[in-house]
Each structure stands twice: as structure tokens, then as C-alpha cells.
Structure 1
């Protein structure tokens, strides 16, 4: 018998017309040592709510989110997850795929850290996300803890708290996704990859002094860029 004590109680009442409650069945099963092992419920990480901050240097806060596009030729969706540095506006790394699982986002996060020379190092980097299933998972929370990152989530229905990644995804939609009817996943992948490269290295931003995010990032490291205070 693979039933737990509650189902056994139901069957005893139904098949044998016994007047018996679940507590009695539990005690009997315990005495007979036939109780099924209880499922172990993994404790959830407490949610850290995104708080107001002033960002004055790269690699202080990265925003992340998931966006989807449509492949007309294959009649299916694909997904884009980006990690954007709110100070220099670079898309540090991204994932493009026909699915978007927690594992995919973790791989993209690790690649982003490697690109910035931050992997397995003590940093003050904060990762800010919404409350999507990939980000609230224990696997993502555990990874952030292992990588010594602080993960904070915006309150529900407050996309303005993730404004910079939302703004990038609007540009991606207006300047790339809505302008093409992709015939294949390969075509969509190439188009989005090329757009992100254009966005990082070529597209100028007024908030950065009319230079590209990549140029601004390196000028900041050299000490020749204008100083910014990004308030969130």
C-alpha cells in the first residue's frame, strides 16, 4: 500500500463503513511503523524587496528581465533574457532560446560575471529582477548566494522599479523585433544578437553624453567619462 494515512482513512470509511478519524489512523500507522516518509519541503529564501539606491559606478546594479519575440515562419515564440548594467547601460550578457529556464539564466549570469572579471570574487553587485518563476526559484537564489551576489526583486506590478531593462526591451521591440517577420529561429537569433551588439557598441545615449554604452564604460574605467548619479 502506497497511500498515506489520510487516504487510508478515506478507504476505511468507504469500504468498511468504519467510523474513524485521521488522527486515529495516523496513530495506528505509526505504531505499526507503516507511515510513509513525509516529503521534505525546501525552505524558501526570504524575498528582498528592491530599495531606492544611488548608483555611481559600473557593476553596482544589474537589472534583468525576460522578453519574448515571435517567429512567423515557425509559428512559435522565442525568449530573450538580458543583464543590463544600470550605470553604463551595457547589456553585459544575454540568453536567446526557444525556452527560458532558470538554468539558462544562471549560465548567462555567470558569463556576464566572467566578462566583467567578477566571477567568484567579492563584489557589491546587486541583481534586480521581477517576480518571474525563474527568478523566485531556489536554484536562482542559491546561485546568487554562491556567487556572493545580492538578489532583490521589485514589488508586484511596479515595472518602473526595473525601468532600465524595460527601456532596453522597448528599444529591442521597436527597432528590431517589430521590424522583421522572422522565418526561422536561426534568423531571429542572428537579428537579436546583431541588435544587442549595435546597441552596446554603436547606439548613442543622451544620458551618457551622446556616446555608446561600451565607449562610456571604458571611459569610466579610464576616468575620462562624465560622472553620473543614477537614482532608482
Structure 2
């Protein structure tokens, strides 16, 4: 049709339509529609560039732009979402997702590094609650920037025995988490004497204050010897399970809201989520032998 339109000054439209086997009315209707779509597409591009100006909404996403265009052009906005995205894509207006992952482990410190007591031959595997906890720190997106979640997990029951969300990567977060873990074990009457604490070689876990807390509770210290995440695989899986399974890592919560959401998520993880590695029991069932699944309190109205 475009070539036919370009040739109409040289050749009559009607004979060309007969030659191509299309009606004159069909040609003009298509030509007018194409012109309208071209005008709409150009208008969309200009408007979206205006919206993305620095003083307006420079990081507005496709969904926001789509809704703004619907409001702007009203009845003239006759295209669907897919066509709209194609217009943005063909004009270089799709946002590039840059996934920055903050570094949570700094091992270039002067503190003592302990040997790995877990990744041995044969590999150490706990046969009850208490002989082994795995620990790690992961980042959480909040409205105020990155926050850092310290987790302490019982390796046998998969129960999260301690956690703490901190604004910084200091020792305070992991220290609060391990103290909470010690209190949890005491509350359930589980002996932790000679327990192994396994972590990476980060400065938080190697600091004097942290190691003093462990040693004063007769807890043995184990650290990965290389940067391979598989050497602390359970702790890494715990990070992913929580962050991918619950809605606190989208960057739309304040720090305090994220704290509350994480606490509720961990409560549900410990008490309500069946775990494949536990024979579809919950961590609480393995830790205490009792089922207190809060989801069973559901009543249909």
C-alpha cells in the first residue's frame, strides 16, 4: 500500500487497484488508517520523551507511560499494550534494567580466619536439631535504599532461629541475629554446646565481638575457605527462598515496613510452609515435633 500511495502521482489509483485485485474504497480506508496510526505513534514517542524529562518522570516504566498515554490521548488511543511496547522498543524508549547487587562479604580484613568444619570428607551432616547453624547476609531493596538481612538457620530443621534487618553492613545485625538464635534454642530446650556456626569469611563474622559471643557459648566456628557459594549452599538457598517467596524485596516498603514484612514472612516460613527436604513437614514440626500451622485456622464464611 505504501508503494501504491507513493505512485499515485504517476499512475491513476483506480487502474492500479484493479491490477492488484483490491477495491478503491479498501485502499483509501487502509491509507487513512495507516496515516492515523503513524501520527499516533509519533505523538506517543514525543509525549513519552516529554514525560521522561529529568524534571518530570525520568525513570517511568512502560506501564506508567501506557496509562499516561491513555489519559493523554483518550479516544484517539486506539492501540493495545503490545503495539504500544513495540513503539517504545523501536524508538529506544525501553528502560534498561540494571541489577546492581551490593557486595555483602568483605574478607580482606586482619581478623582470624577459621577452618571449614562442614565441607569435609565425608561432609558433615547434622542428625538432630542444634549441632549446626548456617549464617549469611543478603541485601533487601527498600524505599530508603539497600538494607541488609542477617539470617541464622538450623541446618537440620531448616528453622530460621534468628534474623535481623539492618541499615548497614556492620556487626550489629549478625550479632543480634545470633543472640536471637541462642535464645530460641534455649527457649525450646535444645542443647547447643559444641554447635558449629558456619558462615563465609566476612568481616562481620570474623570480628572480635562476634567470635567472642560464639566462643563464650561453646560454639565452634567454621568458615568457607573459598568464595564458592556452594560451600555455604543452605544459607544461600534460605536467602533465595525468603526473597523470592514473599513480597518484601520490591523496593516499595520503608525500612520499618520491610522489618515487619520480613518478620511475618519468617513466621510463615517456619510455621506454615511445607518443606520438600523435610518430607513436606514445616520447620516447626521438625524443631519441636508439634504442628502449629496458622493456615489451619482458616474458616470459610
Q: Give the structure-2-normalised TM-score.
A: 0.54
- In structure 2, the residue matched to 1:123 is 193
- In structure 2, the residue matched to 1:216 is 286
1:140 and 2:207 are equivalent in the alignment: no
Counterpart mapping for 1:1-232 below 5 A: 44-51=111-118, 52-71=123-142, 73-74=143-144, 76-117=145-186, 123-176=193-246, 180-219=250-289
Q: Give unmatched runs, 5+ long, in structure 2.
A: 1-109, 291-301
* Runs of 4 or more consecutive aligned structure 1 residues displaced over 3 Å after TM superposition: 43-46, 177-181
Instruction: Output the aligned Cα RMSD.
Output: 2.3
Structure having the larger proportion of residues in strand = 1
Distance 2:276 2:200 in 1: 27
- In structure 2, the residue matched to 1:29 is none
Q: Note if contact 2:162-2:179 (Cα within 8 Å) is conserved in structure 1.
A: no
* 1:46–1:154 distance in 2 versus 1, CA, 3 Å: closer
**Deviations 1:38-63, CA, capped at 9 Å, x for gaps:** xxxxx953522233312101101000
Distance 1:186 1:122 in 2: 32
Q: Give the structure-1-normalised TM-score.
A: 0.69
> Relative CO higher for 1 or 2, CA cutoff 8 Å, sep ≥ 6?
1
Q: Give the structure with higher Rg (CA).
A: 2
Q: Note if contact 1:50-1:153 (Cα within 8 Å) is conserved in structure 2.
A: yes
Distance 1:46 1:154 in 2: 9
Distance 1:67 1:100 in 2: 10
